[in-house]
Chain A
Amino acid sequence: MSLTLEQVRRVAHLARIEISDAEAQSTLGHLNGIFTLIEEMQAVDTQGIEPMAHAQDLAQRLRADAVTEQNRRDAFQAVAPETEAGLYLVPKVIE
């Protein structure tokens, strides 16, 4: 399997990454290289082996349901580009 230039542009758009035509071309080459590697791995017989969701075969640790955090809004908002009335301000988005 190999990607098309169109697919590369679509993935870049979904990831909100701006790429030039030259970058799209070179990215296509890199990604197809990765696909070649995946194809090699897919040649390995994995019949009957359950896919792992994580590289480590461990279980998720859980925390007790308790509020442990303090309000640190001032510290966080000190480094935000723009705030007002406790809100972070961003360019207008209406869907």
Chain B
Amino acid sequence: MKQWEVVIGIETHVQLSTQSKIFSGSSTAFGAEPNVQANAVDIALPGVLPVLNKGAVDCAIRFGLAVEAEVAPKSVFARKNYFYPDLPKGYQISQYELPVVVGGKVNITLGQGDTATEKTINLTRAHLEEDAGKSLHEDFHGKTGIDLNRAGTPLLEIVTEPDMRSSAEAVAYAKALHALVRWIGICDGNMQEGSFRCDANVSVRPLGQKEFGTRREIKNLNSFRFMQQAIDYEVQWQIATIEDGGRIEQATVLFDPDTGETRAMRSKEDAHDYRYFPDPDLLPLIIDRDWVERTRSAMPELPAAKKQRFMADYNLSAYDATTLTSSLEIADYYEAAVAVAGNAAAKPCANWVMVDLAARLNKDGKELADSPVSAAQLGGLVARIADNTISNNIAKKVFEALWNGEGRSADEIIEKQGLKQITDTGAIEALIDGVLAANEAMVAEFRAGKEKAFNALVGQAMKATKGKANPQQVNELLRKKLG
């Protein structure tokens, strides 16, 4: 049995979060009535000229800086010619020989915990281009309906080197890229709405062979799960085809989520020859050092740097730091909570954000941005655990009360609902005396050597304090009295 090596490269179309289109002043808002956001430039009326959107270029520069790529001082727009009804000009304005971003890299983590490994995926380039419109193939009396609202929406196409060796690596890369473009605020990352679409170039070769096998390109993967399924299917299909004596023909394929299979869309025979040439309607895009440096100074701290800082400043494990830097929202939330609770409570803050808050959000199907408990409120709650005002158990009650809007802060709820931990020894002793008097049988059992009876007495005592006493303190006092 031959050993096969899988080779994957990924192209991602990232829809940039601009207000207006890349070459016109039409809105890019999603979900509008068909064709109400398509102006003369977008529908390609004769005589119109494209004017480049500075906001789209800003996004490209931010991306270039985030992946440590070269931001090209000069890049050129080219026409990519093909005919399709949702491309009214007959060409797509893209970049070909001189893209705006050259090189760069994205680091991915594979596996979790102690067995986690890191890998660098190198980028070839990233270029600016316009999106096409949408074809609706539902039946309009045997015709196709065209909506050009999306035509001219700015895209950044990000292309990797063929660096990935499994579907797991491909998905890890796609997830890392997805998190990064959202982090630096250039894309909303909404995959259902098509804001982040991946094409995977997949080939196989006998292990040890230098030359790449013939690749097939799986188009338009709009979920991480589909990406995994599509690549896994494609790989086993290619291996089976070759082992059965067949040959792989270069082709574009589509993944059908219903059957879990990929099928060829067009073969090399009728592959497009795009006849690229520099667009005479657009001059070269010049980006000077000043613009790049201004952008650099406005960049947020990037995930990798933030993760290192979380580990150093807050003494968090790599796992915790990774989880808390999985998005800018969660990282900001965490830091805002720690700012209130204090650095000494950084670890409990991490637990509350990753465990309790995450579980509660999950239960209500809410996103962090919609959390009824703010970071400041959660920080205030953790602070009261840290200074022994309340126990962890009571804290869960206070958290629920904050979630339900029963008070503006943990302090207010603790005060209003009388949840303050009883630390006064005298008060606890009085309660314990009552418990001992009411449970003579248990006391006798304990004295007869049954340790279990002691635990039952602790339980009774905690119940008498309505959970407001420190369990350890109750334990000690009880032992003293029985001793």
CA distance in complex: A19, B23 (Å): 34
**Contact B143 A71, beta carbon cutoff 8 Å:** no
Indicate with 1 or 0, residue by residue over A16-29, a CB within 8 angstroms of chain B CB atoms.
10000000000000
Among listed B3-11, B49-57, B300-308, interface-contacting one: B49-57
Contact of A69 (CB < 8 Å), options: B18, B27, B55: B27
**Taking chain A's interface residues, is the majority helix, strand, or loop, or is none over half, making it mixed?**
loop
With both beta carbons as reference points, the residue of chain B lying nearest to A82 in the complex is identified as B143
Question: Shortest beta-carbon distance, B46 to chain A, in Å?
Answer: 12
Residue of A nearest to B78 (CB): A53
Instruction: Please tell me if B145 contacts chain A, counting CB pairs below 8 Å.
Output: yes
In the assembled complex, B285 has its CB within 8 A of some CB on chain A: yes
- Whether a CB of chain B sits under 8 angstroms from the CB of A94 is yes
Chain B residues near A87 (CB-CB < 8 A): 34-35, 136, 140, 145-147
List which A33-89 residues lie within 8 A (CB) of chain B. Answer: 53-56, 58-69, 71-73, 76-77, 82, 84-89
- Residue B19 is within 8 A (CB to CB) of chain A in the complex: yes
- Closest Cβ–Cβ distance, residue A11 to chain B (whole Å): 8
B20 within 8 Å of A (CB atoms): yes
A94 touches B284 (CB 8 A): no
List residues of B (292-323) whose CB comes within 8 Å of A's CBs. Answer: none
Asked if A89 and B282 make an inter-chain contact with CB atoms under 8 angstroms apart, the answer reads no
Interface residue total, chain B, C-beta cutoff 8 A = 55
In the complex, the answer to whether B140 meets A89 with C-beta atoms within 8 Å is: yes
Which A-chain residue is minimally distant from B133 (CB atoms)?
A88
The one of A14, A58, A62 in contact with B54, judged by C-beta atoms closer than 8 angstroms, is A62
Task: Please name all residues of chain B whose beta carbon is closer than 8 Å to the beta carbon of A68 when the two chains form the complex.
Answer: 20, 25
Interface residue B283 (Cβ < 8 Å from any Cβ of A): yes
B37 and A14 within 8 A (CB):
no
The answer to whether A95 has its CB under 8 Å from any CB of chain B is yes
Give the residue of B34, B53, B83, B266 whose beta carbon is less than 8 angstroms from that of A62.
B53
- B145 touching A64 by the CB < 8 A rule? no
Smallest CB-CB separation from B24: which chain A residue? A69
Least CB distance, A66 to chain B, in whole angstroms: 6
Q: Is B280 an interface residue (CB 8 A)?
A: yes
Q: Does A84 lie within 8 Å of B140, measured CB to CB?
A: yes
Is B52 in contact with A92, judged by CB distance below 8 angstroms? no
Q: Which residues of B contact A1 (CB under 8 A)?
A: none
Q: Given A59-B284, A65-B18, A90–B53 Cβ distance below 8 Å? A: no
Mask of B269-289 contacts with A, CB within 8 angstroms, 1/0: 000110100101011111000
B286 with A59: CB separation less than 8 A: yes
Which of A69, A71, A72 has the most chain B CB atoms closer than 10 A to its own CB? Answer: A69
A90 touches B284 (CB 8 A): no
B17 closest partner in A (C-beta): A65
B142 interface contact, C-beta 8 A? yes
Interface assignment of B357: CB less than 8 Å from any CB of chain A: no
Asked whether any CB of chain A lies closer than 8 Å to the CB of B414, the reply is: no
A60 to B287, CA, bound (A): 10
A67 touches B52 (CB 8 A): no
Task: For the complex, give the distance between the alpha carbons of A65 and B21 in Å.
Answer: 8
Quick check: is B212 within 8 A (CB to CB) of the other chain?
A: no
B474 within 8 A of A: no
Smallest Cβ distance from A79 to chain B, in angstroms? 10
Measured between beta carbons, the chain B residues less than 8 angstroms from A56 are: 283
Is B35 a contact partner of A77 (Cβ separation < 8 A)? yes
Contact A73 B52 (CB under 8 A): no
Chain B nearest Cβ from A63, distance in angstroms: 5
- Interface: B250 (CB within 8 A): no
Q: Is the CB of B285 within 8 A of A59?
A: yes
24 contacts between A and B (CB under 8 A): A14-B273, A15-B81, A54-B282, A60-B285, A61-B283, A62-B52, A65-B55, A65-B56, A66-B20, A67-B25, A68-B25, A69-B20, A69-B25, A69-B39, A72-B39, A72-B40, A76-B40, A84-B140, A86-B35, A87-B34, A87-B136, A87-B140, A89-B143, A95-B265
